[in-house]
């Protein structure tokens, strides 16, 4: 029998699973009662923070994301907590000064994060170095994620070269981040084998079930020596989420990769989440379409979330009949813009520009601000040169604004300015970071928080005065 090498599992139910299926709407109150059981499973880690959870907590749930993290840290006694971090963009949509990135990492670790998965939409490693150094300094585990995609430029040599650079950067592990479910089973064998030969770092694989191949991809990757896979408890698995935890556990049972997890315990956890899933289906929060297989993902290399985005943009313009024209335009725009992986925010930039190109009847008659910024180098360096004709047409006189340096080198320290702007709302150190990422949403939340506290103070005062009914 082969050497025993149990596969490690990162559970995504508290972050990516509900982000992918119900727009990150699970509340802290819904999650906390099951934390004790999740903590007993024996996971490598539980991904519970970062990504869109920060924005959604504030904007839609009126919750403090920092408070959620502290509650998780208190509840998980034996399990490492993991987050997703967008490189220099942190959890927002623009690049921040190095001082904000460093402070955010420091506070994430202080509040309970053990593993930080850091990625960049162009795989420009310069955009990750500040976050990696900060994680090293805080003694957290710095995992660098490669945004996986397909295209002429993305050869095995490309991925191996990136992996070697990541090791030299001081990262603790590498994640293959397959956000669109494009990695096919036998490709996974090749890729994992090549990365394991090129680097001594542990390799983790993250994929989505969108195209229908993810479980088979995990099987081949595990056989090829991958160290960790990301799965989701079955009520929030499959579709645009990850393969189901229980299925992968059962798959490797009695093999050298056996996790040793208790299926009875996993079944109790699934029973807890099932009514939450059923309620999301009844309320319309969970669209049944998100649970199916979308083979267009493989045909057009467009992630599931991007497909629904394109549909809604065309619907607004009354141009739904142009759907396939736009799908065919996406790869062309992507090539013009240096063939970037399609992940936040590059997926939105490419998709929106493709819609404009089709609706205007002339390519690049109108270029969005974000398209111009990519062409100027403000998002970093793409894997391929930009289309020079497109660049001239879109930028015109602005062509002199192009940069080749790391974009954040041009951003001055901004923490002090941000602190001065939001001083009146500050109740904890972390509030300045909340404000830095989402200024307007943060202020709305701070006002809400203040109103709630005033209400509570009045209730306590009434009780003390004897005028409040007990």
pLDDT surpasses 50 at 250: yes
Q: Which two tokens stand for residue 378?
A: 């403000």
SS3 257: coil
Q: Which two tokens stand for residue 339?
A: 């063939």
In order, the DSSP letters of 120-163 are -TT--GGGTHHHHHHHHHTT-EEEEEEE---STT--HHHHHHHH
In whole angstroms, give the CA distance from residue 455 to residue 439. Answer: 24
The share of the chain scoring above pLDDT 90, in percent, equals: 87
Alpha helices in 170-262 (DSSP H): 185-198, 214-223, 245-251
Instruction: Could you please state the CATH topology (level 3) that the domain comprising 302-404 is classified under.
Output: Cyclin A; domain 1 (1.10.472)
284, 288, 294, 296 alpha-carbon torsion, rounded to 10°: -40
pLDDT band at 90 (very low <50, low <70, confident <90, very high): very high
> Quick one: which H or E segment has residue 449?
helix 439-465
Give tens-digit pLDDT for 234-246: 999 999 999 999 9
In whole angstroms, give the CA distance from residue 154 to residue 340. Answer: 10
Instruction: Could you please state the CATH topology (level 3) that the domain comprising 8-288 is classified under.
Output: TIM Barrel (3.20.20)
Q: What is the pTM (predicted TM-score) of this model?
A: 0.94
Mean per-residue pLDDT, 270-284: 96
119, 151 Cβ separation under 8 angstroms:
no
Q: Exposed e or buried b for every residue in 92-111, given b needs 16+ CB within 10 A?
A: beebbbbbbbbbbbbbbbeb
Q: What is the CA radius of gyration of the chain?
A: 23
How much is the pLDDT for 470?
A: 43
188, 157 Cβ separation under 8 angstroms:
no
The share of the chain scoring above pLDDT 70, in percent, equals: 98
Number of C-beta neighbours around residue 456 at 10 A: 10
Alpha helices in 231-385 (DSSP H): 245-251, 263-283, 296-300, 304-316, 323-336, 346-360, 369-376
Q: Which two tokens stand for residue 69?
A: 């993290």
CA dist list (Å): 211 to 235, 289, 333, 432: 19, 13, 22, 40
Give tens-digit pLDDT for 168-219: 999 999 999 999 999 999 999 999 999 999 999 999 999 999 999 999 999 9
């Amino acid at each position: 029998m082969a050497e025993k090498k149990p596969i490690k599992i990162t559970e995504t139910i508290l972050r990516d699973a509900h982000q992918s299926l119900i727009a990150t709407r699970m509340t802290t109150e819904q999650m906390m009662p099951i934390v004790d059981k999740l903590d007993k499973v024996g996971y490598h880690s539980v991904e519970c923070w970062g990504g869109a959870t920060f924005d959604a907590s504030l904007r839609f749930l009126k919750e403090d994301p920092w408070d959620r993290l502290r509650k998780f840290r208190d509840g998980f006694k034996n399990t490492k907590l993991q987050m997703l971090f967008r490189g220099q963009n942190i959890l927002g949509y623009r690049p921040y000064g190095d001082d904000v990135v460093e402070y955010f990492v420091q506070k994430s670790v202080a509040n309970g994060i053990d593993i930080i998965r850091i990625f960049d939409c162009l795989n420009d490693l310069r955009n990750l170095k500040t976050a990696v150094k900060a994680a090293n300094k805080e003694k957290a585990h710095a995992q660098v994620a490669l945004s996986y995609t397909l295209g002429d430029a993305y050869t095995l040599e490309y991925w191996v070269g990136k992996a070697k650079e990541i090791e030299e950067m001081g990262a603790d592990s590498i994640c293959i981040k397959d956000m669109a479910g494009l990695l096919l089973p036998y490709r996974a064998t090749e890729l994992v084998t090549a990365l394991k030969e090129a680097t001594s770092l542990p390799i983790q694989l993250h994929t989505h079930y969108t195209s229908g191949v993810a479980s088979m991809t995990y099987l081949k990757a595990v056989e090829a020596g991958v160290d960790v896979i990301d799965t989701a408890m079955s009520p929030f698995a499959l579709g645009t989420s990850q393969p189901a935890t229980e299925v992968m556990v059962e798959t490797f049972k009695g093999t050298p990769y056996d996790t040793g997890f208790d299926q009875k315990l996993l079944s109790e956890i699934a029973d807890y989440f099932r009514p939450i899933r059923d309620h999301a289906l009844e309320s319309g929060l969970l669209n049944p379409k998100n649970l199916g297989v979308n083979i267009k993902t493989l045909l057009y290399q467009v992630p599931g979330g991007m497909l629904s985005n394109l549909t809604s943009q065309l619907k607004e313009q009354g141009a739904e009949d142009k759907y396939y024209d736009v799908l065919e335009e996406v790869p062309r725009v992507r090539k013009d813009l240096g063939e970037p992986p399609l992940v936040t925010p590059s997926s939105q930039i490419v998709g929106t520009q493709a819609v404009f190109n089709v609706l205007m009847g002339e390519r690049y008659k109108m270029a969005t601000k974000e398209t111009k910024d990519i062409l100027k180098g403000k998002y970093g360096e793409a894997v391929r040169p930009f289309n020079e004709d497109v660049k001239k047409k879109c930028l015109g006189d602005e062509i002199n604004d192009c940069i080749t340096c790391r974009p954040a080198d041009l951003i001055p320290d901004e923490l002090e300015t941000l602190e001065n702007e939001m001083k009146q709302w500050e109740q904890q150190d972390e509030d300045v970071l909340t404000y830095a990422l989402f200024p307007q949403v943060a202020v709305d939340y701070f006002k809400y928080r203040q109103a709630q506290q005033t209400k509570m103070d009045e209730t306590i005062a009434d009780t003390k005065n004897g005028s409040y009914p007990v």
